[in-house]
């Protein structure tokens, strides 16, 4: 399972003491330097590990990924940047590789320095623990408020057994934009860095960029893919092999996205918001995001209340020029709103549709051919409980 | 108190049975037709009463405002539009005035038709109950999930006793944009419609447009002012008299805004988000709104947690091009973040600053002279409880 399913990778997860009593430091290591690609948060407040990893991945090569939970190393200034570099250096020394081959990632509280003694000890420990079945342990060591690990393996069609393995953390500060929370992909396909990046951007754009828990795009979002080539399956340009690889990567990324939103902080229910009939994809996505982030839609979702008026109101305030008299809304297969007004529907049947998994909220704009979608979760008392005292 | 404090107005509030067991229909009537101005929601899904009142106020004259709670008459299509017109007509007939002199407003559940028999009976009842001290009763009859009425009177400086009276409803679906939830102002100053509109746009822009409870701009937002001229104080052009009137209107509007955010659904705490050092006012306002709407900032506010990292992250994702290494954050007078990193502060003192009323969250960008601000409230379990089953 997880990132060690493809050939050519080892992983480990250890308790370094950053998050007392829990595994909190993970390492993914390729047997040899490999092609790599990554996308990063668009938040202007970028965490120190983001700045360091951007530099390191720029050349399209990497050997290892080191990740800690419990401290985001964000809002830590020049000292935090030095810490992130030292974290990469300690990993490179432990593995005997170049520091530029190490991707550094952190997640946790903002504004607090990393306890570097614990990080260094943890890295040394993780290097000793590396194993070809260490993926699941690593997947557990990157979690924060998540309630369970998120890992997946996708087979590449026609790839002769070549795979994509992946793990992620989610839960809070989730509204990825051009990247995601922490998501790590490995593959034993051989894929040049440029194609790897193209596939990653496609996969993330159709999965992790379409989820929201709270609308708060994180300072630390990062999605990384390493390709070992150890399976012998080779992607060397556009064509069926590339398509098969991209599809497997997208499948894995969508599975992680679904797990993240389903395990959103306090989440008890997931909804798929689908916008049809928009003039263009950008407008469809903007409306989908507005509906998916609306606190009133999310609390109605929590209560199982088919309150389509809140969906209509969110569509109307999205900033897109919509003719509301042409707007239809469906909950599941129940047509609740036609032409901007209540349709003739059965409230009990609509209520049942609010209990499906996922709840399907479809908005038809009737003004063009474009579609868009988002996955979101409900807003519960649990979300408030998790976040009112997160640091204490 | 309230809208009957200025001379020349009567009001009433009655229980029409739209919202069982509570007063739910209010009437404000001027003794004679008066100058009027109004601003309306920018939501593309505009409720039927918005469409009707826009027509009626376009000429700058009005005699009466009729308001119901319990049903928004939004998402009701052509039939809802006919209902809103009938509501205006019934009021005009009861008062013996022209239908175009009646402002119609509704608030409550979206997607449900008005019970017109109850509305007609309620209007007839309210006409009989009209009195020169009916303001407070009217203020109670427009509430939905509000926990107390919102009313205020402001004296016009140098106005020889001329006043501005006002009432509002708030609580949920509150993120006014170019208007507000329902807010009704009266004045016994004599102000031509064009100047009345200028003063209203100014007042609302510096008060009701700067509050958010949940980021959900309503389908029914409306702010209306009627000027009876009954005090003899006259505003006939730019100058000190206009300034004094505008200031009194702004003071009343800010008082209502503060009451609305303090009585937000589930609210236990209010914060003033202040942005300084922005390049321009639009960027300052955009950042202020992003911070004020962040669920993570609002839950930290609920917990009294001085979690400035969430403020920094919200600034970073606002869409404004910010140099995060120049950003300072203060909570109250405690400098918690300097140059994008933790300042040397005492956590207990910062926690104390989170218990002030309002909590003051100040962000200094260091990139220009412009400022902006918003008032927001916390996100509590109470918000979830109020909204998960709002319609049941």
Interface of A with B in 217-236 (CB under 8 A): 217-219
Is the pLDDT assigned to residue A178 strictly greater than 50? no
Cross-chain residue pair A317–B109, CB shorter than 8 Å = no
User: How far, in Å, CA of B255 to CA of B45, rounded?
Assistant: 28
Which pair of tokens denotes residue A153? 């393996």
pLDDT of residue A181: 72
CATH 3.60.70.12 positions along chain A are 2-262
A residues 322..341 contacting B (CB < 8 A): 322-325, 327, 337, 339-341
Q: Is the pLDDT of residue A180 over 80?
A: no
Residues of B marked as catalytic: 180
Regarding predicted confidence, which is higher, A4 or A146? A4
Q: Residue B207: what pLDDT?
A: 87
Query: In chain A, what residues touch B45 (CB-CB under 8 Å)?
Result: 312-313, 315-317, 322, 324, 327, 340
Summarize the confidence of residues B153-176 as an average pLDDT.
Answer: 82
Facing B342 at nearest CB: one of A43, A75, A295: A75
Residue with tokens 């229980």: B15
Residue A293's nearest CA partner among B282, B361, B296, B374 is B296
Q: Which of A41, A180, A186, A376 is catalytic?
A: A180
Could you give the dihedral angle defined by the CA atoms of residues B148, B197, B195 and B241, in that order, rounded to the nearest 10 degrees?
A: 20
> Does B81 lie at the interface with A, CB-CB under 8 angstroms?
no
> For residues B182 and B142, is the Cβ–Cβ distance under 8 A?
yes
For residues B250 and B202, is the Cβ–Cβ distance under 8 A?
A: yes
Alpha carbon distance B17, B70 (integer Å): 9
pLDDT tens, position by position, A326-354? 999 999 999 999 999 999 999 999 999 99
Task: Inspect the interface and report whether the beta carbons of A307 and B74 lie closer than 8 Å.
Answer: no
Q: Which of B230, B120, B222, B140 lies closest to B186 in space, CA to CA? A: B230
Q: Which residue of B has its CA nearest to A318?
A: B43
Give start-end residues of each CATH 3.10.20.340 domain in chain B: 270-388
Does the pLDDT of residue B390 top 70, yes or no? no
ipTM above 0.90, yes or no: no
- The percentage of chain A sitting over the pLDDT mark of 70, rounded to a whole number, equals 96
3-state secondary structure of A181: coil
Q: Which range among A12-16, A93-97, B253-257 shows the weakest confidence by mean pLDDT?
A: B253-257
Residue of chain B minimizing CA distance to A45: B316
- Summarised one tens digit per residue, pLDDT across range B2-41 is 899 999 999 999 999 998 889 999 999 999 999 999 888 8
Question: To probe the interface with A, which of B71, B77, B111 has the most A CB atoms within 10 Å?
Answer: B111
Pull the structure tokens for residue A156: 């590449």
Give contacts of A313 with chain B, Cβ < 8 Å. Answer: 43, 45, 74, 110, 173, 216-219
**What is the average pLDDT across A55-82?**
93
d(CA B252, CA A269): 42
pTM of the model: 0.82
Q: Are B208 and B257 in contact (CB under 8 A)?
A: yes
Identify the weakest region by mean pLDDT among A115-129, B75-89, B170-184, B347-361: B170-184
Question: Does the pLDDT of residue A7 top 50, yes or no?
Answer: yes
Kindly state the tokens that stand for A296. Answer: 């009133």
Burial (CB < 10 A; 0-12, 13-18, 19+), residue B115, is middle
Q: pLDDT at position A21, please?
A: 85
At B377 the pLDDT is 92
> pLDDT per residue over B340-361, tens digit each?
999 999 999 999 999 999 999 9
B58–A contact, CB cutoff 8 A: no
> B2-262, what's its fold?
3.60.70
Query: Taking all residues of chain A, what is their mean pLDDT, rounded to a whole number?
Result: 90
- In chain B, positions 283-312, which contact chain A (CB-CB < 8 Å)? 293-296, 299-300, 302-303, 305, 307-310, 312
Which tens digit of pLDDT belongs to each residue from B32-67?
Answer: 999 999 888 878 888 899 999 999 999 999 999 999
Q: How far apart are CA B252 and CA B139, in angstroms?
A: 14
In CATH terms, A270-388 corresponds, of 3.40.190.80, 3.40.190.10, 3.10.20.340, 3.40.50.970, to: 3.10.20.340
Q: Residue B174's pLDDT is what? A: 62
Task: Give residue-wise pLDDT tens across range A123-132.
Answer: 999 999 999 9
What's the N-to-C CA distance of chain B in angstroms?
34
Kindly list the distances between the CA atom of residue B150 and the CA atoms of B10, B69, B182, in Å, as whole numbers in the listed order: 18, 15, 11
Tokens of B291: 């911070």
Torsion (CA) B45, B50, B55, B60 in degrees, nearest 10: -130
Could you give the CA distance from residue A184 to residue A167 in angstroms, rounded to a whole number?
5
Q: Do B381 and A379 touch (CB under 8 A)?
A: no
| 3-state SS, residue B343 | coil
pLDDT tens per residue across span B290-305: 999 998 899 999 999 9
Identify the closest residue of chain A to B73 by CA–CA distance.
Answer: A341
For A34-44, what is the mean pLDDT? 87
Alpha-carbon Rg for chain A, nearest whole angstrom, is: 21
- Measured between CA atoms, the residue of chain A closest to residue B295 is A214
Give the model confidence (pLDDT) of A272-328 as tens digits.
999 999 999 999 999 999 999 998 899 999 999 999 989 998 999 898 999 999 999
pLDDT classification of B219: cutoffs 50, 70, 90: confident
Q: Does A76 touch chain B (CB under 8 A)?
A: yes
Q: Which of A75, A77, A300 sits opposite B309 (nearest CB)?
A: A75
CA distance A322 to A103: 44
Residue with the larger pLDDT of the pair B211 and A104: A104
Q: What percentage of chain B exceeds 90 in pLDDT?
A: 64
Q: Is the pLDDT of residue A230 over 80?
A: yes
Question: Which pLDDT score is estimated for A391?
Answer: 61
More confident residue, B210 or B371: B371
Given a cut of 80, whether residue A177 has pLDDT beyond it is: no
**Do B12 and B126 form a contact (C-beta atoms < 8 A)?**
yes
- Cβ–Cβ < 8 Å for B67, B141: yes
- DSSP 8-state secondary structure symbol assigned to residue A317: T
């Amino acid at each position: 399972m997880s990132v060690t399913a493809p050939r050519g990778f080892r992983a480990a997860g250890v308790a370094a003491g950053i998050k007392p009593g829990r595994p909190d430091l993970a390492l993914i290591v390729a047997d040899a330097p490999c092609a790599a690609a990554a996308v990063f948060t668009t938040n202007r407040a970028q965490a120190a590990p983001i700045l360091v990893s951007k530099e390191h991945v720029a050349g399209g090569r990497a050997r290892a990924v080191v990740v800690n939970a419990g401290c985001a190393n964000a809002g830590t200034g020049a000292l935090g940047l030095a810490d992130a570099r030292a974290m990469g250096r300690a990993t490179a020394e432990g593995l005997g590789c170049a520091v530029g081959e190490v991707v550094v990632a952190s997640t946790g509280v903002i504004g607090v320095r990393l306890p570097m003694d614990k990080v260094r000890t943890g890295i040394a420990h993780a290097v000793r623990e590396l194993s070809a079945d260490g993926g699941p342990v690593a997947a557990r060591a990157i979690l924060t408020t998540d309630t369970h690990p998120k890992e997946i393996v996708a087979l590449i069609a026609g790839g002769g057994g070549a795979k994509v393995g992946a793990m992620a953390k989610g839960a809070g500060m989730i509204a990825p934009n051009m990247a995601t929370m922490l998501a790590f992909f490995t593959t034993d396909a051989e894929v040049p860095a440029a194609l790897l990046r193209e596939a990653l951007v496609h996969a993330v754009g159709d999965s992790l960029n379409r989820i929201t828990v709270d609308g708060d795009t994180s300072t630390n979002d990062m999605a990384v893919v390493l390709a070992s080539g150890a399976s012998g399956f080779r992607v060397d340009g556009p064509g069926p092999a590339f398509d098969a690889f991209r599809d497997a990567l997208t499948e894995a990324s969508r599975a992680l996205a679904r797990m993240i939103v389903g395990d959103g902080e306090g989440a008890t229910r997931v909804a798929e918001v689908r916008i049809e009939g928009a003039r263009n994809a950008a407008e469809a996505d903007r409306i989908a995001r507005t509906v998916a982030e609306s606190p009133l839609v999310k609390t109605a979702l929590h209560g199982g209340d088919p309150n389509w008026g809140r969906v209509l109101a969110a569509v109307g305030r999205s900033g897109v020029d919509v003719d509301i008299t042409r707007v239809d809304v469906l909950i599941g297969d129940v047509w609740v709103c036609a032409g901007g007004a209540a349709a003739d529907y059965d409230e009990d049947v609509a209520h049942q549709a609010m209990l499906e998994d996922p709840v399907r909220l479809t908005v038809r704009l009737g003004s063009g051919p474009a579609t868009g979608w988002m996955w979101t979760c409900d807003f519960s008392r649990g979300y408030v409980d998790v976040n009112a005292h997160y640091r204490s």
